[in-house]
Copies of this chain bind each other. A is one copy, B any other.
Amino acid sequence: MTAQAGTGRTNQKQRTRTAIVAAARDLTGTGAEVTMPAVARAALVSEATAYRYFPDLPSLISEALAGVWPPPAEALAPVADSADPVERVSFACEFLLRGILARQGSVRAMIAATITRPETVPTRPGVRFGLIDHALLPLEDTLGARDPDGFAQLKRDLAVVVSAEALFTLTDLCGLDPDEAITSAVRTAATLTAAAVRAIA
């Protein structure tokens, strides 16, 4: 649809863009530092060209990362049959944090770039939100209907805990090793969810 029919130039642009994103994705996986010069080099493109396709590093990383996350429904397939919000949230949390751990370099670069410029934040892929919403689907009709505010609060609670920021807080500041950090965050998320569920019991 979009491609194929394009003229030579259009196809060329498409290929260039794809190459840049692919290079970023690859770098992300290697654990190497993800910088514009590095991505451009890996994509066999000049830095100037990379900036022509992406206004800044966060945009690029964002697109590269977005492509590797499956849609929430797919990610949570293993708990698709469960109606237990606690189990679903725990799974979602572990899933997200393990994925982040495997792409630390990019995620850290992204946070560093957006923390000092809140205005560029919209470019961040809201992976956590999709996962949280999907994990909480079973509560939509109960808690969501009976106590909308409480439901919204729960989502915010989880947005704070089911996050790269939480993971890095636990590993970098609390000194936990990756597995301990994930275990801890999962427990926190479970506690919060259980507390919210108890409210409608």
Contact = CB atoms under 8 A, between A and B. Distances in A.
| This protein's copies in its complex | 2
A115 B112 contact: yes
Contacts of A10: none
Contacts of A126: 173
Nearest to A194: B195
A156 B184 contact: yes
A192 B170 CA distance: 16
Interface of A is mostly: helix
B116 A157 contact: no
Interface stretch (A40-48, A79-87, A137-145, A161-169): A161-169
A30 B126 CA distance: 32
B168 A115 contact: yes
A116 B124 CA distance: 17
Q: What is the size category of the interface that chain A forms with chain B?
A: 35 or more
Contacts of A168: 115, 118, 165
Contacts of A118: 168, 171-172
Given A115-B172, A159-B174, A191-B191, 14 more contacts: A108-B116, A112-B112, A112-B115, A114-B172, A153-B187, A156-B176, A157-B191, A159-B170, A160-B170, A163-B169, A188-B192, A191-B195, A191-B196, A195-B195
Q: Which 8 A-B pairs have the closest CB atoms?
A: A165-B165, A157-B188, A160-B166, A112-B112, A118-B172, A121-B172, A156-B184, A112-B116
